[in-house]
Structure 1
Amino acid sequence: MAALACAAGLAMLLTAALHAAPPARPVKIAVLTPGLSFGEVLGGLRDGLGQLGYREDTNLILLVEDTKGGGSDVKAQAQALVAAKPDVLVTVSTSHTMAAKSATSTIPIVFTWVGDPVRSGLVPNYASSGNNLTGLSVYSGPLSGKRLEILKEITPDARRILCLVARESIAEISFGLAQRTAEQLGMVLIRRDVASRDDIVRELGALPRGAFDAIYHVPSGLVTAHIGLLIQRARDDKVALMTHEDEQVAAGALVSYGANYRRMGQQTARIVDRVLSGVAPSEIPIQIPDKLMLAINLVTARTIGLKPPLTLLERAERIVE
């Protein structure tokens, strides 16, 4: 953790430095994204690039490959973007970053919304990747326990917690860390493995009402892309849904704790700008979100019959009413 804090501090100092003016010639930035609910990340990236002087109609060519949640074609889509020879390849999520890493060892890759780039095997440490990757970790794994603690605080009687775990490294890492906290809190995690949207629909449909007391969103590109399915099931069963991003709370989840997608996109743009200015990815420490946010949806709380404690509401930075 000390090394991570040091790297994060260094990263903030570096991003605060003056940026070189964008080049006169158009730069080509490719983006490999799961799309769907990750749209805000791309929106933030566009915002951030615009603030830094990059304009799609003048000095920026933006190639976006939307995989619509992922699937068997992600590797092929990554290879197609590499074939376009971009100056930088931006990847959203762990699975998409791994596909890009397999496709090129020379084109700079700037990743975002990657849960744990070290445990996932993308980079050896946060201080320096030692390769063509750098980017922004969403810090999902280490926050898993904290999210369960908040879930316990908002719904103290919840014991059986449904978890949909995708076949992604960050999902396994996050679930493992959540499992340790669950045992300490007296919770039982009901694990269901999923590899596609159809799996999510099938697993949710197979569980009768009353089979679980709350839903915990284990971070993954797949389940995040289809978070609406979890929001609907939680609403139907009148149970709490704990997730990791405040726009998901705006969409109907009860509570979240984590980074904001649009802010992450903007922060990613600043890293891209440094790479385009000539800094090697290996010289840019891996960053973590510059802000974490607790969000609560009071409309959802009333719908499912919960009254969040005042102590939690006082800590919330976003309340949906």
Structure 2
Amino acid sequence: MTFPRPPAFRLLGILAVLIVALSATLLPTAYAQSSKAPLKIAMILWRGETNVEQGFRAYFDENNIPVDLTIHDVARDLSRVPAIIDQIRKDPPDLVYTWGTGITSSVVGKYDAVDPAKNITDLPVVYVMVSSPWKTGIAAPAGQSRPNVTGATHIAPLAAQINAIRAYRPMDKLGVVYNSREDNSVSNVADLTELGREMGFDVLAAPLGTDDEPSADDIAPAVAELARKGADILYIGPDNFIGNYRDTLTDAGFANGLAAFSATELEVRDGHAMLGLVSRYELVGRLAASKVEQILIGGISPADIPVETLDRFSYLIRLSSARKLKLYPPLSLLDYAEVIE
């Protein structure tokens, strides 16, 4: 003889089944991925691994996504890129990661001038540290996309940068020493000049490398000339050459009573620029990693993943530089700025 199951026990059984089913559906993608083969990613880097790559690695570690990263370091020499592309084609990864405008442009070409013989067209590419992807032709114009390319950019809007400078001190003349052979730098200076007409400041430009390769020896005289012309502050934009010689620039600024503002993190955090409105490199790497996850795990085409920057930026102040120049920050800035000794 069988007895009907009490309603309470029947309800518990149903709940148990539901909990098991929900647990299976709510398992994070990262957990499901952990038992699969590692994602193969070829990384083409400008100067070895940076905090960007640390953030990139950390994203996968924290989400339990196994990755197999192959590092190709061009050691600041773009002439090495074609050989690296040949090497990648012989043993194709799942995805290619590129660092900076020069490398990315060499790897994927301009959106309207892709050469399949030279550029990677049959693998997804995610880039980082490209300051002006649209102006440099790496990203397609609005309404268009590139079938295999997307990325994470890192520069705060220029108007926000200017407001950040003016929050610290008045600025009517912005002095810019830059490498005229870097597309991203040329684009940045052009955009600043246009913005100056709207926001009421003049850009005093000091291009290097107009006749020959730029030299570090040209930086100090250029800064002295900007000081003579009445620059209120030096601007360090997304420029690989100036980034390599940032201390030369800021030392020349100290010698001429000029502070430096930076649009990128390292010039303040590891250098002597007095202030900056920046993306944290680690967070840029994490943003790029999330795009890789969307492509390789989510199955989303790079064409459907927008090029993005972070939605928050950090205001950095290097107090040692402020002391040296006797240009102390307004107390109001200390409510939200990160002060670095």
Shorter-chain TM-score bucket reads 0.7 to 0.9
Matches of 1:29 and 1:116 in 2, distance apart?
24
Q: In percent, how many aligned pairs have the same letter?
A: 20
Matches of 1:62 and 1:113 in 2, distance apart?
18
Tell me if structure 2 keeps the 8 A contact 1:257–1:295: yes
- Which position in structure 2 is the counterpart of 1:46? 57
Matches of 2:154 and 2:239 in 1, distance apart?
11
**Superposition TM-score, scaled by structure 2 size:** 0.76
- Which position in structure 1 is the counterpart of 2:289? 269
**Superposition TM-score, scaled by structure 1 size:** 0.80
Structure 1 unaligned spans of 5+: 1-16
Q: 1:211 to 1:171 in 2, by over 3 A?
A: closer
- 1:174-253 aligned at under 5 Å gives the runs 174-183=188-197, 184-194=199-209, 199-207=214-222, 209=224, 211-212=226-227, 213=231, 214-251=233-270, 252-253=272-273
Q: CA RMSD in A?
A: 2.8
Secondary structure of 1:68's match? coil
| Aligned with residue 85 of structure 1, among 60, 73, 92 | 92
Matches of 2:284 and 2:143 in 1, distance apart?
19
Larger Rg: 2
Letter in 2 for 1:301: A
Greater relative contact order: 1 or 2 (C-alpha under 8 angstroms, separation 6 or more)? 1
Deviation at 1:153, TM superposition (A): 4.0
| Aligned with residue 172 of structure 1, among 179, 182, 186 | 186
Tell me if structure 2 keeps the 8 A contact 1:65–1:81: no
Letter in 2 for 1:229: T
- Which position in structure 2 is the counterpart of 1:7? none
Matches of 2:142 and 2:128 in 1, distance apart?
14
Deviation at 1:202, TM superposition (A): 2.6
Tell me if structure 1 keeps the 8 A contact 2:155–2:264: no
Matches of 2:142 and 2:72 in 1, distance apart?
27
| Aligned with residue 146 of structure 2, among 101, 115, 130 | 130
Tell me if structure 1 keeps the 8 A contact 2:132–2:184: yes
Deviation at 1:35, TM superposition (A): 1.8
Deviation at 1:177, TM superposition (A): 1.5
Tell me if structure 2 keeps the 8 A contact 1:69–1:225: no
Deviations 1:264-283 (A, max 9, x none): 01111111122221322112
Tell me if structure 2 keeps the 8 A contact 1:128–1:285: no
Deviation at 1:225, TM superposition (A): 4.3
Tell me if structure 2 keeps the 8 A contact 1:241–1:255: yes
- Which position in structure 1 is the counterpart of 2:36? 24
Deviation at 1:127, TM superposition (A): 7.1
- Which position in structure 2 is the counterpart of 1:105? 121
Q: 1:34 to 1:240 in 2, by over 3 A?
A: same
Secondary structure of 1:73's match? helix
Tell me if structure 1 keeps the 8 A contact 2:150–2:302: yes
Q: 1:60 to 1:235 in 2, by over 3 A?
A: same
Structure 2 unaligned spans of 5+: 1-27, 110-118
